[in-house]
Structure 1
């Protein structure tokens, strides 16, 4: 896979659907191949390989079978998205081709006369059914080719706002279907490190229906399973709390943050001078209000920063949020790489201090 970033509209994160681990791996393998900043052909096909599945945690001996089964099952699956007119339901995929390395040999046995064989291939070509493997990919490794349903494409490409993104390696090795969904919910609120969802909405999104109606069962089978795996296998540390309204548990709160980066087994020293910034973490302070206003305008142009701010309904909300954040040192450090890349670059040596 040439691109490790998975991007999807927030409506998919909130949608109701139930996919197996193999089906999640199939989708993510295809999603990672979608161009992020250009339109895509509705008929564009994405090729799924054994290596794609193995990278995401599949057993090497079973990867081919897992892909084939996932393509068969996913063709039948739909997702439900709430709209202002009602609930919209559509399929994930419009078509699937499961490659068979012996297919051409069987055709030649079926049409032993070269002229008959040629005519059959011309018939396939006439209806755009003649298939060939993509240039530059190893045919022995490719197991399937998938095409997304046209209804879902606007939610997967050229997204400018209200989207969620994460790295493919962050979810590699997940063995629970719930871990994928919880991690996506977290990444929707990555900028805040906080997510609150009603248990009713959680059950709807995970398509649990009548399963785990008792909160203790939901906690054990779903929440604990996902949280433990996320803590073990991703760059984030997450904790949760079940919130009561009266005597009944009604909401789930997630709090999460990136695990502390270590260099050679030692935590980063806040007094150490950063070779890029030229200052230490301790020296970086919050901006003045005027500086924050100036750089909030510049940062808002970068979708990597505000793409998961679903709590901001319009530009003014996001700008106001950025202005407040930039007056705190921790956010100046968090956004430093983007500040340094501005057309009027931020200089932490002279601007990173309260006036």
Structure 2
């Protein structure tokens, strides 16, 4: 698992579901596993998750990792989610309900969990044709609130604008996975769900977020959000020839946040058109550019464009 890139279709990002923190982490590890095998994923694919990987990526004890895998055998298998989809014959929209997984196999002596995603989940993870969100697993590795993980995913789906338009309150609660009978008083919802999630996101991820509440009369009816990428500390100057643009081995290792930030900007620049492929979307193109920036040769080739955008 080299760079820990997680990719989800935005239908899944905007789905309604209630997964505990450990269950969300297992899903993310499985998605990352599926992406990095390079072999694709089907409804028959068996994706392995090892307790050691769980402990390493989320900085928890081995005992906590064992428990997360063992609990998933029953808990994750029974979890469901729903999302809005179009009925292609008529163009009308409806609600799809699905399990997350169709099969779970746990080997206690190996501390190994094998997951097979349900058929409806597979295209939402693997399809990159239209709208998708990608992020590094390490961005949510330190988030201990299940609501913080969900909110982070919802926010970065709007990374290009840094603004999330108003989400109606009941819809927002559904997406976060807050039950109908949970935190029904607004002061409890804000103090136990929303504000701790914002606090964790601001402390532990690559963005800083804030929210605005909207009212109908005196009643809070929804929330909107603004967020911005955190400023990366400038690296100290060095005489390392790999940082000298005039040398043939020039290469600057960018942070994951930098790569995706600049890749999003570059994907819409006319001078990048020669690198685009077929009918891919700007978002798909941005993902490829971010991968290109990991390659020293491509980095040197694209450096003038990076400089034009303010990268130094």
TM-score range, shorter chain: 0.7 to 0.9
Which of 50, 74, 77 is 1:75 aligned to? 77
Question: Is 2:93 the counterpart of 1:96?
Answer: no
Q: What's the counterpart of residue 216 of structure 2?
A: 245
Regions of 4+ moved over 3 Å: 36-39, 274-278, 292-305, 344-352
SS in 2 for 1:260: coil
Q: State the shift of 1:256 in Å.
A: 1.1
Cα 1:100/1:204, change in 2 over 3 Å: closer
Report the TM-score, using the length of structure 1 for normalisation: 0.66
Trace 1:144-183 onto structure 2 (pairs within 5 A): 144-183=113-152
Q: What's the counterpart of residue 234 of structure 1?
A: 205
Residues in 2 aligned to 1:246 and 1:188: alpha-carbon distance in whole angstroms: 30
CA deviations over 1:110-147 (Å, ceiling 9, x no partner): xxxxxxxxxxxxxxxxxxxxxxxxxxxxxx4x421111
Q: State the shift of 1:152 in Å.
A: 1.0
Q: What's the counterpart of residue 321 of structure 1?
A: none
Q: What's the counterpart of residue 53 of structure 1?
A: 54
Cα 1:198/1:149, change in 2 over 3 Å: same
Trace 1:117-156 onto structure 2 (pairs within 5 A): 140=110, 142-156=111-125
SS in 2 for 1:241: strand
Which structure carries more helix by proportion? 2
SS in 1 for 2:108: coil
SS in 2 for 1:156: helix
SS in 2 for 1:48: strand
Trace 1:182-201 onto structure 2 (pairs within 5 A): 182-196=151-165, 197-201=167-171
Question: Is 2:221 the counterpart of 1:219?
Answer: no
Q: State the shift of 1:173 in Å.
A: 1.8
Larger Rg: 1
Residues in 1 aligned to 2:39 and 2:130: alpha-carbon distance in whole angstroms: 15
Residues in 2 aligned to 1:48 and 1:73: alpha-carbon distance in whole angstroms: 16
Q: State the shift of 1:27 in Å.
A: 0.5
Q: State the shift of 1:260 in Å.
A: 1.1
Q: What's the counterpart of residue 256 of structure 1?
A: 227
Residues in 1 aligned to 2:276 and 2:216: alpha-carbon distance in whole angstroms: 37
SS in 1 for 2:142: coil
Cα 1:341/1:20, change in 2 over 3 Å: same
Q: State the shift of 1:299 in Å.
A: 7.4
Q: What's the counterpart of residue 45 of structure 2?
A: 44
Question: Is 2:264 the counterpart of 1:294?
Answer: no
Q: State the shift of 1:43 in Å.
A: 1.2
Q: State the shift of 1:213 in Å.
A: 2.4
Question: Is 2:27 the counterpart of 1:27?
Answer: yes
How many aligned residue pairs are there? 267
Residues in 2 aligned to 1:349 and 1:70: alpha-carbon distance in whole angstroms: 44
Contact 1:300 1:306 (8 Å CA) reproduced? no
Report the TM-score, using the length of structure 2 for normalisation: 0.74
Cα 1:348/1:171, change in 2 over 3 Å: closer
Q: What's the counterpart of residue 306 of structure 1?
A: 283
Between stretches 254-263 and 88-97, larger displacement belongs to: 254-263
Contact 1:79 1:91 (8 Å CA) reproduced? yes
Contact 1:243 1:252 (8 Å CA) reproduced? yes
Residues in 2 aligned to 1:99 and 1:349: alpha-carbon distance in whole angstroms: 48
Cα 1:276/1:5, change in 2 over 3 Å: farther
Cα 1:9/1:225, change in 2 over 3 Å: same
